Structure 1
Amino acid sequence: MERFGPATLVEAGSEQLLFDAGRGAALRLNQLSIMPGEIDKLFLTHLHSDHTIGIPDVWLTGSLPTAGKRSTPFQVWGPAGTKEMMANLEEAFHDDIEGRKENQKEALDGLTAVGQDIEEGVVYEKNGVQVVAFLVDHPPMEPSYGYRVNYKGHSVVISGDTRYNEKLIQQAKGTDLLIHEVAAAKPDNHSPAIQKILSKHTTPEEAAKVFQQVQPKLAVYSHIVLLDGLSDADANLAVRTNQTYDGKLVVGQDLMSFTIGDQVTIKEPHVGLIP
């Protein structure tokens, strides 16, 4: 209950951009006093279910008058298969969507979903905000993407799911905030199944090498994968990382926020989570 699925909201100027929509994304937005209907732009790193299962909630709930009543189509950018996935979701919820449209006098444009398959490069640019997609390495999900958001000389980079990746290092250099995934297991664990999972993600020691080369103003761990019953306390993610990386690092929490300027400031969750 303390850690829902992957979802990162980037607010830049008038733009509100959601990256991934894992379990509970709409609920966490609501806790931040942001209605799902305020979100009409979603960028997917890849199509694993833990990054997409919250899409119907953000999309369909956001069309309701009690949840923001989105007035524009719900746009989704992501890897090959995104367009087909959104079309199939519209088909899956066809009866619900048509029923809602019949009960409303005015058009419900917020119920329309538009999926777009992307390639590397600039995938969105408006109101001074630029979103750049770049390939990362998360087998067998190919392609998988990370994103860099640029705005007024500042930036945030979201790694998505990836193992140690040189392209991410290149794309992230000079960024203010680097939000990076991490995975860990007990040091004495030699389970082939767990080692296979670790091989698709980034360990704290590998992330340290990434951070040391990128040198962001702040590095943040998200998508925290703890295996073999490893607890947050026992994982020692920051300690393991700081053995190699000497910069500023935070282990992310749900509802934690960051303000990017000359410095990156951290705001702890202002809404209590269930203990």
Structure 2
Amino acid sequence: MFLGTKGGPRVEIGRSNPANLIEINGTRIVLDCGMGVSRQLAEAKVPLTSVKYILISHHHSDHNLEYGNLVYNAWVSGLSTPIHSFGPNGLEEMTKTYWELNKFDVDTRIADEGRPNPRPLLIAKDIVADGEFLKTDEFTITAFRTPHPPITDNFAYKFTTPDGVIVFSSDTEYNPKLAEFAKGADVLVHEALFAPFVEKLVARVKNGATLGKHLMASHTTAQDVGKIASAAGVKLLVLSHLVPGDIDVTDDQWIAAVRENYSGRVSVAKDLMELVLPVKP
């Protein structure tokens, strides 16, 4: 399920900030924790206490800002079983700092409300290299480092499940090696930048010139996303983490840009949209 499909840190009316829910035979995994992830899970009627794993792709605020708060919100909802989290270098330290930041509130609620200590319930682990980092009887998750300038500790994730393979690109500059990582996947969920938007942004925002350079250097245009999907031979391409993520760009415009280099199936993600594997022909 696509919980939040708008790229960037700004919180606005409309699409929520980046977050995804992957459910594999009853195991629930949250991928990225942009602002609003707890509310979006509630809107989807998914109990916060049912989350078993959290993955962070990189340490931009629109991907990790509600990481600690998601676990906190699960705790005050009755969480009693561990959540394991994985992400780039710094996640373990971030987790420790989060509990220090909220020490007064947490300790007060433990004593005053009889709640369990939440700290042992969040088990964080830094991912330091590409490769498989989580394997269960039901699924395997593999990390692949892809550049998101100036960030290098940034991971795409592949979920290999009994029903198929789905790959999430993370934020990334145009990276042909992602096509190799996603080769033959049932679904590729890839970020997308609508290039004409950048020109408008430069003209209307005070820091537009600098921000525009960042967007063009560190994200992938919809046209180049089409190149990745075509080279990977995926069954379905889904555009998410949209920049811009508002009504300035229609679905038809996104798809037309992708179609310049990709003739396969393509969809534009919407908040709370569900996708079920295996993908139907």
**TM bucket normalised to smaller:** 0.7 to 0.9
Cα distance change, pair 94–112 in 1 and its aligned pair in 2 (3 A): farther
Q: Show the counterpart of 1:236.
A: 253
> Could you tell me whether the CA contact under 8 Å between 2:239 and 2:269 is conserved in 1?
yes
Q: Show the counterpart of 1:156.
A: 166
Structure with greater contact order relative to length (CA < 8 Å, sep ≥ 6): 2
Q: Show the counterpart of 2:15.
A: 3
- Residue identity opposite 2:268 in structure 1: V
- Residue identity opposite 1:177 in structure 2: V
Residue 3 of structure 1: how far off its partner (Å): 0.9
> Could you tell me whether the CA contact under 8 Å between 2:34 and 2:62 is conserved in 1?
yes
Residue 112 of structure 1: how far off its partner (Å): 3.4
Q: Show the counterpart of 1:251.
A: 268
User: C-alpha deviations, 1:207-230, integer Å up to 9, x for none?
Assistant: 010011112111111110129x98
> Could you tell me whether the CA contact under 8 Å between 1:132 and 1:147 is conserved in 2?
yes
- Residue identity opposite 2:231 in structure 1: Q
Q: Give the 3-state SS of the residue equivalent to 1:260 in structure 2.
A: coil
> Could you tell me whether the CA contact under 8 Å between 1:97 and 1:111 is conserved in 2?
no
Q: Show the counterpart of 1:73.
A: 82
2:23, 2:124 → 1: CA distance? 21
1:176, 1:221 → 2: CA distance? 14
TM-score, normalised relative to structure 1: 0.87
> Could you tell me whether the CA contact under 8 Å between 1:182 and 1:207 is conserved in 2?
yes
1:224, 1:262 → 2: CA distance? 22
Q: Show the counterpart of 1:196.
A: 214
Q: Give the 3-state SS of the residue equivalent to 2:224 in structure 1.
A: helix
**Residues 1:180 and 2:180 are matched in the alignment:** no
Q: Give the 3-state SS of the residue equivalent to 1:61 in structure 2.
A: helix
Identify the match of residue 29 of structure 2 among 10, 13, 17. Answer: 17
Q: Point out where structure 2 has 5 or more consecutive residues left out of the alignment.
A: 1-12, 203-208
- 1:1-275 matches, within 5 Å, as 1-64=13-76, 67=77, 69-105=78-114, 107-109=116-118, 112-118=121-127, 119-152=129-162, 154-186=164-196, 189=199, 191=202, 192-193=209-210, 194-226=212-244, 231-233=248-250, 236-261=253-278, 263=280
TM-score, normalised relative to structure 2: 0.86
Residue 107 of structure 1: how far off its partner (Å): 3.0
Residue 104 of structure 1: how far off its partner (Å): 4.3
Q: Give the 3-state SS of the residue equivalent to 1:236 in structure 2.
A: helix
2:42, 2:247 → 1: CA distance? 30
> Could you tell me whether the CA contact under 8 Å between 1:185 and 1:230 is conserved in 2?
no
2:22, 2:87 → 1: CA distance? 16
- Residue identity opposite 1:2 in structure 2: G
Q: Give the 3-state SS of the residue equivalent to 1:137 in structure 2.
A: coil
User: C-alpha deviations, 1:28-58, integer Å up to 9, x for none?
Assistant: 1111110212113101100100101121331
Q: How many residues align?
A: 260
> Could you tell me whether the CA contact under 8 Å between 1:15 and 1:127 is conserved in 2?
no
Q: Point out where structure 1 has 5 or more consecutive residues left out of the alignment.
A: 265-275
Percent identity at matched positions? 26
> Could you tell me whether the CA contact under 8 Å between 1:178 and 1:216 is conserved in 2?
yes
Q: Give the 3-state SS of the residue equivalent to 1:249 in structure 2.
A: strand
Once the two structures are overlaid, the 10-residue window that deviates more, 190-199 or 207-216, is 190-199
Residue 103 of structure 1: how far off its partner (Å): 3.0
- C-alpha RMSD of matched pairs (Å): 2.2
1:230, 1:212 → 2: CA distance? 27
1:198, 1:11 → 2: CA distance? 33
Residue 135 of structure 1: how far off its partner (Å): 0.6
